[in-house]
Structure 1
Amino acid sequence: MPTLTRERKTYQRFPAERVIGRMSVDEWMVLLEHSKHKSNYICGEVVEVAGASPEHNVVAMNMAVALRNSLDILETNCDVLGSDQKVFVPPGLYYFPDLCVVCGEWKVDLRDALQNPCVIVEVLSPSTESDDRTDKFREYQQIASLRHYILIDQSRVAVTHFEKLAVGLWAIVGDFRSQDDTLKIALAGATVEVPLAQIYRRVVFS
């Protein structure tokens, strides 16, 4: 019998048009200073951060405000940082997540990259969702301080909450599909509550 074969596409993590090239970290820092666009540094490869839609920006801002308000009410020592904050990922990666939270003293390296976020939030887009759910998540797990990873869909009501358990494993502790749901995050000895209705405030879905 003849053997059935079929061609398989070669795996390409990033679209070619977003890959700037390979360079040192110092060269990348110079690029950031002179470029109009942010880029991530991933094991020597520089990849331009994908542009964001208005819905993406509204959802990210809503999440930041809701988190900040809840943290203030609970009087925690936590801060919410936006998408211009670099995060260092061991052993030598730098990302610009959509949002991150740090509690207590900030640990920042000489390149102004945060080293100890306890929460990272990514707003999903069609061009980044696959990476946010797979390779990037696996890389983020190398950050010792990270306890929560939250993915927010911009095109529908869908929020997935991953938490690092005491045994060191990551598990989905919340997978929400209704604006009546509430995201709950254990931080600094308190439970931060963020209603999905606030996350998707003024976002209209077709």
Structure 2
Amino acid sequence: MPNEKRLWTYADYANLHEEKRYEGIDGALFMTPSPTPRHQRIVTALSAHFFDFLQHSSCEVFVAPIDVCLFATKDTPLHDIKDWYIPDLIVVCDNQKIGDERIYGAPDLIIEILSPSTAKHDRITKFHSYERAGVKEYWIVDPIHETVERYGLQDKKFHQVQMHYKDETICPYIFPNCLIALPKVFTPM
């Protein structure tokens, strides 16, 4: 495992010869554990829905692992990037943010699926970083309680738009014509 006491940049991370995934927060590394099958079913269901909905738009959906350098542009040297995340699912509507190897800047929508080991990180650290970066919409999906918390950005702050339960249909704040039936998302295989 990399030395956790040093300050890491994205350039350092990109040169690691490990198969593990790490996120960087202000130069500190955090390992992201492999997701569970339930987690992956939820991500797959959501990504399939967004893929179908966005087919003829300028927006694209991406699923983990993909690095998102929230506070960088394509012109930012990799050794100047101290924050990067690997969200479970993102939607990007500005193709200038899509690089050959990573995403630069704030995606329009980020979805994180909670797990016991990442829940606090998703709810606090990532929540505030995504808010500060200007992510328009953030979803926190709880597979245990089968809920989706939706947050929309207004006046540079996230405000909870709504809490959805497993038997409801959800509509993204940024895509008002996109309807997602949560029973299909939370139904175990």
**What is the TM-score with the length of structure 1 in the denominator?**
0.77
**Corresponding position of 2:39:** 56
Q: Return closer, same or farther for 1:175/1:61 CA change in 2, 3 Å cut-off.
A: same
State the distance in 2 between where 1:191 and 1:169 align: 24
2:64–2:88 CA contact under 8 A, matched in 1: yes
Of 184, 187, 199, 2:171 maps to 184
List aligned pairs for 1:132-151, cutoff 5 A: 132-144=122-134, 146-151=135-140
Give the equivalent residue in structure 2 for 1:78: 59
Q: What is the Cα deviation at residue 93 of structure 1?
A: 0.5
RMSD of aligned Cα (Å): 2.2
Q: Distance in 1 between matches of 2:3 and 2:143?
A: 26
* Structure 1 position 30 matched with structure 2 position 15: yes
Q: Deviations over 1:113-134 (max 9, x none)?
A: 3324100000000111112111
TM-fit CA distance, 1:86: 0.9
- In structure 2, list runs of 5 or more residues that go unmatched: 73-81
Mark the structure with the bigger radius of gyration. Answer: 1
Q: Measure the CA separation in 2 of the matches of 1:120 and 1:154.
A: 16
Aligned to 1:89: 70
Q: Tell me the equivalent position of 1:201.
A: 187
Uncovered stretches (5+) of structure 1, i.e. residues with no partner = 1-17
- How many residues align? The count is 178
Give the SS at the match of 2:97: coil
The percentage of aligned residue pairs carrying the same residue is 21
State the 1:48 CA deviation. 0.9
Mapped to 1, the partners of 2:28 and 2:161 lie a distance apart of 33
Counterpart secondary structure, 2:149 = strand
Structure-1 separation of matches of 2:156 and 2:140:
20
Is residue 2:36 matched to residue 1:47? no
State the alpha-carbon separation in 1 of the partners of residues 48 and 99 from structure 2. Answer: 26
